[in-house]
């Protein structure tokens, strides 16, 4: 009986078992060798696992769309308020920025694994990108250990939808793999929100690919659609070899480089709108950013600098915004001129312009007769909103009393 059991164990752990283990080890060895052959880079043995690290360097002459790396280095540093209306005017040290993007096996949830994590950094006059590729699931913890070393306490992470998607997934995977409980860094700038504030009015869709085409003037060729990326990785896991994997790595690389250029486009649009902007919708959006920061002098300046574009496009909404900026900085003569012009039109701003004229003549000029005249005109074009109609009745009753005194 005992002899039979030993015989079975011998068969299980004997030559056939050793052969299968050797075959498995050969397959795993081939996995790293093939990954290196397909993608370049180096196979790293780190913290008990292996992964591929791919480095790319872009010098000052590299052109991404309509700007070069060298040109970016000559611009004034970006400031926090360029990306957050509550941000400070403090300059951001470019070498503290860590541009971050990753490719995952899905769109969220505990089973979503980041299999390609990329980082970009400014180093002197060049831009360096490091990409960490996960050849197989068992090496995830090792790769995440290396990724963790990229993010330091003084790092300012820059991403595109990273606050909502990439960073939460990365942190979850670090916790699951017992790599890090609390990932600490100095700040996180999510350029998606800044891009939407600036460009959504004109573009509608603010996907990174749409921003690249229309803002950066950068065109991708033979790019793999983002929704196909997980399928390419699964194909790699099953077949250990797919030419499409290289396109996934290139896709991730372009994302990271685009973040660097987009950051400066957003800052330059706010620092030099007269030189950088040629579309009325973008001008409106920049002025709105200044308006929300209560920087009314800047609203006035940008709209004055771009008045020809505004006039050519008959943008009465922008003219009204300019009139309100004039009012807030005490340029009443200019404000009255714009309101008077708008009051003779037939558009959404006509009613508001007439109300502002009524306010001006009532409160600043004490000319109640003229104020009442503009109120009557406003009543004729008053929107069918209860709030506006009630206010009109109160205003006209008050002015009628004042004009009789």
Q: Is 57 helix (H, G, I), strand (E, B) or coil?
A: strand
- Residue 89 is classified by DSSP as S
b/e burial code for range 199-235 (CB count within 10 A of at least 16 → b): bebebeebebbebbeebbebeeeeebeeeebbebbee
Contact 381, 351 (CB under 8 A): yes
Please state the domain extents for the chain: 32-271, 273-404
Look up residue 152 and give its two tokens. 């330091």
Q: Rounded to whole angstroms, how far apart are CA atoms 54 and 20?
A: 32
| 162 within 8 A of 100, measured Cβ to Cβ | yes
Q: How far apart are the first and last CA of the chain?
A: 121
Domain 32-271, CATH among 1.10.3720.10, 3.40.1000.10, 3.40.50.300, 3.30.420.10: 3.30.420.10
Taking a C-beta distance cutoff of 8 angstroms, is the pair 160, 259 a contact? Answer: yes
pLDDT at position 239? 86
Contact 197, 162 (CB under 8 A): no
Rounded to 5°, the CA angle 184-190-193 comes to 150
Q: How far apart are CA 99 and CA 262, in angstroms?
A: 11
Q: What whole-number distance in Å separates Cα of residue 15 and Cα of residue 30?
A: 22
| Residue with the two structure tokens 């069918």 | 384
Contact (CB, 8 A) for 160 and 100? no
Helix, strand, or coil (residue 46):
strand
296-305 and 316-328 helices, crossing angle to 10°: 140
27 φ, ψ to 5°? -60, -45
Computed on alpha carbons and rounded to an integer, the radius of gyration of the chain in Å comes to: 30
Q: How far apart are CA 94 and CA 125, in angstroms?
A: 11
Kindly provide the b/e burial profile for residues 309-326, where b requires at least 16 CB atoms within 10 angstroms of the residue's own CB.
Answer: bbeeeebbebbbbbbbbb
Please identify which residue in the block is written with the tokens 């003219």: 319
From first to last of its 405 residues, what are the pLDDT tens digits of the chain? 544 543 443 444 444 444 444 444 544 558 899 999 999 999 999 888 999 999 999 999 999 999 999 999 888 889 999 999 888 889 999 999 999 999 999 987 778 999 999 999 999 889 999 999 999 999 999 999 999 999 999 999 999 999 999 999 999 999 999 998 889 999 999 999 999 999 999 999 999 999 999 999 999 988 999 999 999 999 999 987 788 999 999 999 999 999 999 999 999 999 999 888 899 999 999 999 999 999 999 999 999 999 888 888 888 999 999 999 999 999 999 999 999 999 998 888 999 999 999 999 999 999 999 999 999 999 898 887 888 888 888 998 999 998 887
Distance of CA 202 to the CA centre of its chain: 16
Whether residue 268 contacts residue 276, with contact meaning beta carbons closer than 8 Å, is answered with yes
Closest CA to 59 of 125, 144, 151, 158: 125
Assigned fold of 273-404: 1.25.40
pLDDT at residue 29, rounded to an integer: 57
Determine the pLDDT at residue 24: 47
Q: Alpha-carbon distance 220 to 334, whole Å? A: 46
User: How would you list the strands of the sheet with 42-46, edge to edge?
Assistant: 42-46, 49-58, 126-133, 114-123, 97-104, 156-159, 187-190
- The DSSP 8-state label assigned to residue 223 in this structure reads P
Phi/psi for 81 (5° steps) reads: -70, -10
- Give the C-alpha separation, 392 to 354, whole Å: 11
Note the pLDDT of residue 15: 43
């Amino acid at each position: 009986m005992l002899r039979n059991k030993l015989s079975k164990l011998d068969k299980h752990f004997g030559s056939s078992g050793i052969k299968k283990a050797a075959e498995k080890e050969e397959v795993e060895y081939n996995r790293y060798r093939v990954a290196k052959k397909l993608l370049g880079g180096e196979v790293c043995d780190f913290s008990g696992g292996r992964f591929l690290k791919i480095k790319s360097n872009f010098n000052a002459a590299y052109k991404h769309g309509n700007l070069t790396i060298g040109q970016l280095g000559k611009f004034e540093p970006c400031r926090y308020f360029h990306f957050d209306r509550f941000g400070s005017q403090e300059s951001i040290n470019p070498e503290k920025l860590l541009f971050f993007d990753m490719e995952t096996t899905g769109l969220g949830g505990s089973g979503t694994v980041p299999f390609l994590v990329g980082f970009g950094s400014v180093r002197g006059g060049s831009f360096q990108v490091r990409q960490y590729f996960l050849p197989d699931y068992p090496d995830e913890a090792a790769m995440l250990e290396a990724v963790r070393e990229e993010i330091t306490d003084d790092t300012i992470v820059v991403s595109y939808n990273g606050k909502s998607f990439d960073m939460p997934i990365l942190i979850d995977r670090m916790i699951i793999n017992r790599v890090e409980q609390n990932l600490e860094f100095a700040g996180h700038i999510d350029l998606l929100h800044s891009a939407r504030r600036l460009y959504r009015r004109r573009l509608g869709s603010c996907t990174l690919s749409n921003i690249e085409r229309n803002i950066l003037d950068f065109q991708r060729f033979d790019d793999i659609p983002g929704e196909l990326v997980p399928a390419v990785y699964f194909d790699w896991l099953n077949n250990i070899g797919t030419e499409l994997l290289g396109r996934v790595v290139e896709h991730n690389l372009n994302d990271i480089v685009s973040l660097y250029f987009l950051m400066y486009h957003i800052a330059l649009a706010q620092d030099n709108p007269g030189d950088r902007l040629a579309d009325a919708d973008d001008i409106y959006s920049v002025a709105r950013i200044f308006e929300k920061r209560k920087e009314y002098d800047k609203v006035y300046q940008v709209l004055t600098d771009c008045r020809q574009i505004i006039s050519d496009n008959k943008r009465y909404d922008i003219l009204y915004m300019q009139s309100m900026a004039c009012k807030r900085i005490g340029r009443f003569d200019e404000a009255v001129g714009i309101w008077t012009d708008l009051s003779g039109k037939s558009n959404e701003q006509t009613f508001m312009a007439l109300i502002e004229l009524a306010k001006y003549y009532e409160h600043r000029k004490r000319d109640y007769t003229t104020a009442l005249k503009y109120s009557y005109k406003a009543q004729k074009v008053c929107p069918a909103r209860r709030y506006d109609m009630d206010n009109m009745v109160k205003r006209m009753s008050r002015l009628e009393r004042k004009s009789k005194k």
